[in-house]
Chains A and B, each alone.
Chain A
Amino acid sequence: MASAGIRPGAAEERTLAQAFARREDWAFDEAYRRYGTLLYSVALNVLHNVQDAEDCVHDALVRVWRNPKTFAADRGSVRAFLTVVVRNDAISRLRASARRGRLAERLGREDEPAEEFEIDDFVQQRKLRAAIEELPQEQRQPVLLAYFGGKTHVEIAKELAEPLGTVKSRISLGLRKLGAALKEGRP
């Protein structure tokens, strides 16, 4: 276990973003030096397998770097951009292997009880928990199912028996509120 480290200054981050957008090799190296731990942790926290997490970070970063259109300098921070790219890739992998696993399970046993989804299993961090608890219930549930459950908004709408449009806007509102709450608490 390691800490995420000290956040570099905004100006420094902007320089990095510009160089990253121009595909200067040193920027890749620097981004990895700064955010490698974060990116690997993001992948591991979704996949729970060290080799899968490593493959995921590797493949996602290679894809980003080889496709110059993916990141423009005014696109925001490299840190947040890469975090989401890696996380999305990890979720895709998880979904693909869940599809395989579900099929294998169905073949092996038909009366498998549905898996219970326990928030407590995932959110141990006090500050995060507090911010999540501040969300209205109608937003909290779909945001948690999206972030920790790795579910698509279509699956969430089905699960909560709510219209797709309603679920979309609740997730959207919920995330913006959560993001703001976590920002406030920042030193």
Chain B
Amino acid sequence: MNEHVDDLAELYALGSLEDLDRARVERHTSSCAACAERVSEAEESVTRIAELQTMHEAPPGLRTRLHSSLALAHLRHAWVRSIPAAIAAALVLALIPTWVAVDRTRTVAAMHQDEQALAKIASAPFARAQFMSPRNAPMDAKVLYGMHGDWYYVVVMHPKPGMQVAYVHEGKMEMLGTVATHGASGTLYLPVNHKMEELALVSDGAVIGDAHLAY
């Protein structure tokens, strides 16, 4: 972008540019002093707003993690420099409470699973079944599934924390996994290769809904 950034300076600082325009502003300001000045003025304004919002202490592991990623040489705290990266990494893990580490794995896995599910939905014929409450009222929950019974994608609005999905078969229940929450919705992708005819939603050990699937 050879053109000056003009009004885009403020849009950049506010975060209201798409990634592509944002990169162009960053590129241009690295070589144009006039635009760099305007952008930095806008950044200053945004920072003033940001400073008036609630402050939260950064987790102690973050600094260690940055140091280990960047392999910084001249550190003020010699103890960090004196330990090899592998030990530093172990130290970072030790600083993270167990529940965070567990939750993190689940979140990353869930994101990956959503992408797999969306690829299935886009590429293969699928059916859809509605979860019903024990009183037979439709719930804000559905299961999308492959017509060959090779994958299942459960979508629940406002799921209860720790809500699980179970396979109901011959009077027995087999737990298949826990619904991962993103914002208002929760999802669980199950690449189970078996034609399951009944799925249940389980919360706190109780069945709160079920869905009947047809092939």
Instruction: Please judge, given known A-B contacts A87-B15, A153-B16, whether A28 and B70 are in contact too, CB under 8 Å.
Output: yes
Interface of B is mostly: helix
Interface residue tally on B, bucketed by range: 35 or more
Instruction: Please judge, given known A-B contacts A57-B58, A100-B114, A179-B44, whether A105 and B184 are in contact too, CB under 8 Å.
Output: yes
CA distance A103 to B115 in the complex (A): 11
Contact B75–A25 (Cβ < 8 Å): yes
Contact A80–B46 (Cβ < 8 Å): yes
Contact A51–B43 (Cβ < 8 Å): no
CA distance A72 to B32 in the complex (A): 11
Contact A76–B37 (Cβ < 8 Å): yes
CA distance A52 to B157 in the complex (A): 22
B192 close to chain A: CB less than 8 A: no
Contact B185–A105 (Cβ < 8 Å): yes
Interface of A is mostly: helix
> Which of B10, B37, B39, B66 gathers the greatest number of chain A CB atoms within 10 Å?
B10
Contact A80–B43 (Cβ < 8 Å): yes
Instruction: Please judge, given known A-B contacts A40-B62, A83-B46, A152-B16, whether A77 and B40 are in contact too, CB under 8 Å.
Output: yes
Contact A108–B140 (Cβ < 8 Å): yes
CA distance A52 to B184 in the complex (A): 17
Residues of chain A with a CB closer than 8 A to B12's CB:
84, 88
Which residues between 146 and 181 of chain A lie within 8 Å of chain B, taking CB atoms? Answer: 146-147, 150-154, 156, 168-169, 171-172, 175-176, 178-180
Which residues between 29 and 48 of chain B lie within 8 Å of chain A, taking CB atoms? Answer: 29-30, 33, 36-37, 39-48
Nearest to B61 among chain A residues (CB) is A54
Residues of chain B with a CB closer than 8 A to A36's CB:
58, 62-63
Residues of chain A with a CB closer than 8 A to B17's CB:
152-153
Residues of chain B with a CB closer than 8 A to A39's CB:
58
Nearest to A169 among chain B residues (CB) is B7
Contact A172–B156 (Cβ < 8 Å): no
Residues of chain A with a CB closer than 8 A to B33's CB:
74
Which residues between 108 and 162 of chain A lie within 8 Å of chain B, taking CB atoms? Answer: 108-109, 112, 125, 127-128, 143, 146-147, 150-154, 156
A10 close to chain B: CB less than 8 A: no
Contact B51–A4 (Cβ < 8 Å): yes
CA distance A128 to B32 in the complex (A): 32
> Which of B7, B53, B66, B140 gathers the greatest number of chain A CB atoms within 10 Å?
B53
B100 close to chain A: CB less than 8 A: yes
Contact A101–B53 (Cβ < 8 Å): no
B111 close to chain A: CB less than 8 A: yes
* Neighbour of A147 across the interface among B9, B46, B70, CB < 8 A: B46
Instruction: Please judge, given known A-B contacts A70-B30, A152-B17, A172-B10, whether A75 and B40 are in contact too, CB under 8 Å.
Output: yes
Listed A/B pairs (25) with beta-carbon separation below 8 Å: A26-B74, A28-B72, A37-B56, A41-B50, A50-B100, A57-B62, A65-B70, A69-B30, A72-B30, A72-B36, A76-B40, A76-B43, A76-B44, A80-B40, A88-B12, A88-B15, A98-B183, A150-B15, A153-B16, A156-B16, A172-B9, A175-B10, A175-B14, A179-B45, A179-B48
The 4 closest A-B pairs by CB, nearest first: A179-B45, A76-B40, A108-B155, A40-B58
